[in-house]
Chains A and B, each alone.
Chain A
Amino acid sequence: MAEKFDLNEREVWDGNYAASQAMRQAKVDVMAAYPITPSTPIVENYGAYVANGYIDGEFVMVESEHAAMSACVGASAAGGRVATATSSQGFALMVEVLYQASGMRLPIVLNVVNRALASPLNVRGDHADMYLGRDAGWIQFGAFNSQEAYDLALCAFKVAENHSVRLPVMIHQDGFITSHTAQNVYPLTDEAAYNFVGDIDPVDDMLDFSRPVTYGAQTEEDWHFEHKAKQHKAIMDSVPVIEEVFAEFEKISGRKYKRVETYMMEDAEVAIVALGTTVETSRVAAMKMREQGIKAGVVAPRVFRPFPFDLIRDALENVKSVAVLDRSSPGGAMGAFYNEISAALYTTPKRPLVTNYIYGLGGRDFAVQDAIDIYNEQKANADAGYITTDIQQFSGLRGPKLGFFQTKRS
């Protein structure tokens, strides 16, 4: 019997502590981890909860993140509730096994505290690691603050383990800005949290000796395509389950989550589309724009995968100029997020102008004024009816102005 952990109605937690409390309340059976900054406290705290008797679980020390996710695959295939956390280089080393986990339809929960990828080495937050995992077949939730890191972690188990989903889920939070900033968090009681998540009901579990199964089969050109298509269908079909889980969570917590969060978008003429903590910065900037009479709004995918192609269109189709903010070095292309938003908007009748801003790499601060500058450029685009700036620009970068591509106008 686990020890009782005393909780106040309101706690002051950083994102890491909030996520680790969700791991405790969900009674994670196995956590295999190789701790890495800035996500270390999540797995460290879980280890402490096990050692101090707050969880009846197993902390597995491994020799790398590749091994960490591999051990998670084994434990999840065995039928346990499994979670871990990582960041940056550790995430990169995990990537091979991320594809294995989703391909085997294992409901592992991974807390990703977003951090830049080397080189040059950097421990601060950007979204390079999150982007690296975007094709891995995992459901991806975005938390913009500590409360959300906690809430979404609880939702993640319930989505992942649902029998019509059975896919692994990542919860992303920004390194340091969320993970190490103490904020007010309103936790559920242990009973309410566990009643919400519920017991895991394993599928094809390897500890069922009455039905031995093979995991990790080889499929060549005559089988592989069908299996990957089935997996893609599963993640696309997870949408109603995600929405049900968010609705159920709202009932017990009063906190409402949507696949795409929109702020002041009802009459918006210009918009910023962003991920992570930048969403809250942009909201402050949008309010200031509205004081000047500029109808500014913010759109933020809460669920990054499955990509909310439908809701992005609904939110932005009547906007005149949209700025898509990519917090990852694009490496020779337009930002990946920009490309995805643009693809959705290209299928709308009015096709808003869409511009791309690379910003905040390696934890470079993105201030309210930066967002205001971006809104002003969008307003100029909206008034002109075309993109007046380079299509890809860099916000908060020192040195001569850098930008790429201009609108083709006859």
Chain B
Amino acid sequence: MQDPKLCATEKRGLHELEAGKDLMGWDEVTQGSVLPSFEGDASNIAHLKQEERDYSHFNSYTATVASWRVQKPVFNIDVCIDCQNCWVWCPDTSIISRDKQMLGIDYDHCKGCEVCVEVCPTNPKSLLMFSEQEDLETALSQWPEKKKKEK
């Protein structure tokens, strides 16, 4: 099972945009709705991992933007071969992979599009869709067996 801490680190998913928190008046919003991505000088951060970067509160990295997901992908570490296919294809940068090891799903940003499941090449798949309400442990207990080749 993926580390539950991956769902919310200190910097990721701090606030819920949809909840209407942090609303400001007209005199406080940024000029031209131009939004800086980082706090401070960002000229030398390309080598840093996401959790090491100082994202501004305007950046969606610090926000939970996945409240409208109805089905979620669940990751099974026992089947995964770390091929990185899901990491390449995910349109929301929501596959968390470090040192070419797949660690899990960023549920603060995943919209439940199922692309990762579609491109997963293992048998059985290492990513499967479950209801948003299903807890990870129950989901993993229902994992299908390897599909046998027919002779």
Chain A residues engaging chain B, CB cutoff 8 angstroms: 103-106, 166, 203-204, 209-217, 219, 222-223, 225-227, 229-231, 233-234
Question: Given contacts A210-B42, A211-B42, is CB(A222)–CB(B23) below 8 Å?
Answer: yes
Q: Within 8 Å CB of B42, what residues of A?
A: 209-212
Q: Is the CB of A214 within 8 A of B34?
A: yes
Contact A212-B37, Cβ < 8 Å, known A226-B26, A229-B26? yes
Smallest Cβ-Cβ distance to B31: which chain A residue: A105
In Å, the complex CA distance between A215 and B33 comes to: 7
B3, CB-defined interface residue at 8 Å: no
Do the beta carbons of B41 and A226 come within 8 Å of each other?
no
Nearest chain-B residue to A206 (Cβ)?
Answer: B34
Tally the A-B contacts, defined by beta carbons under 8 Å.
Answer: 67
* A-B contact sample (15 more), CB < 8 A, given A203-B31, A225-B26: A103-B32, A106-B32, A204-B32, A210-B41, A211-B41, A212-B38, A213-B36, A213-B37, A214-B35, A214-B37, A222-B23, A223-B33, A226-B25, A226-B29, A230-B27
Q: Are A210 and B43 in contact (CB under 8 A)?
A: yes
How far, in whole Å, are A217 and B34 apart by their CA atoms in the complex?
Answer: 7
Between B23, B24, B26, B36, the greatest number of chain A beta carbons within 10 A of the residue's beta carbon is seen for: B26
Partner among A213, A222, A231 whose Cβ is within 8 Å of the Cβ of B34: A213
Let me know if B36 and A211 touch, CB within 8 A: yes
User: Which of B26, B33, B43 is close to A209, meaning CB atoms less than 8 Å apart?
Assistant: B43
Interface secondary structure of B, over-half rule: loop
In the bound complex, CA of A215 to CA of B34 (Å)? 5
The yes or no answer to B143 lying at the interface (CB within 8 A) is no
Nearest Cβ distance between residue B64 and chain A, in whole angstroms? 15
Tell me which residues across on chain A come within 8 A of B34, comparing CB atoms: 104-105, 204, 213-215, 217
A222 to B23 Cα, complex, angstroms: 8
Max chain A C-beta neighbours (<10 A), residue from B20, B31, B35:
B31
Q: A104-B32, A204-B31, A212-B37 are in contact. Are A222 and B26 (CB under 8 A)?
A: no
Closest CB of chain B to A52's CB: distance in Å? Answer: 35
On whether the beta carbons of B26 and A233 are closer than 8 Å, the reply is yes
Flag B3-35 by CB within 8 Å of A: 1 or 0 each. Answer: 000000000000000001001111111011111
Cβ distance B31 to chain A, nearest Cβ, rounded Å: 5
Cross-chain contact A230 with B58 (CB below 8 angstroms): no
Query: Which partner residue on chain B sits nearest A212 by CB separation?
Result: B37
Q: Select which of B29, B31, B38 is within 8 A of A211 by beta carbon.
A: B38
In the bound complex, residues from chain B placing their C-beta under 8 Å from that of A219 are 33
| Chain B, range 69-111, C-beta contacts under 8 Å to A | none
B38: nearest chain-A partner, CB-CB: A212
B32 touches A214 (CB 8 A): no
* A217-B33 contact in complex given A210-B41, A211-B41, C-beta closer than 8 Å: yes
Write the nearest CB–CB distance from A73 to chain B, whole angstroms: 11
Q: Which 4 A-B pairs have the closest CB atoms?
A: A105-B32, A210-B43, A229-B26, A226-B26
Residues of B within 8 A of A203 (CB): 31
User: How far, in angstroms, from A86 to B31 measured CA to CA in the complex?
Assistant: 27
Closest to B23 in A: A222
* Chain B nearest CB, measured from A373 CB (Å): 47
Complex Cα distance, B37 from A211, in Å, reads 7
30 interchain pairs, CB-CB under 8 A: A106-B32, A203-B31, A204-B32, A204-B34, A204-B36, A209-B42, A209-B43, A210-B43, A211-B42, A212-B36, A212-B38, A213-B34, A213-B35, A213-B37, A214-B35, A214-B36, A214-B58, A216-B33, A217-B35, A219-B33, A222-B23, A223-B33, A225-B26, A227-B26, A227-B29, A229-B26, A230-B26, A230-B29, A230-B31, A233-B26
* A contact residues around B29 at 8 Å (CB): 223, 226-227, 230
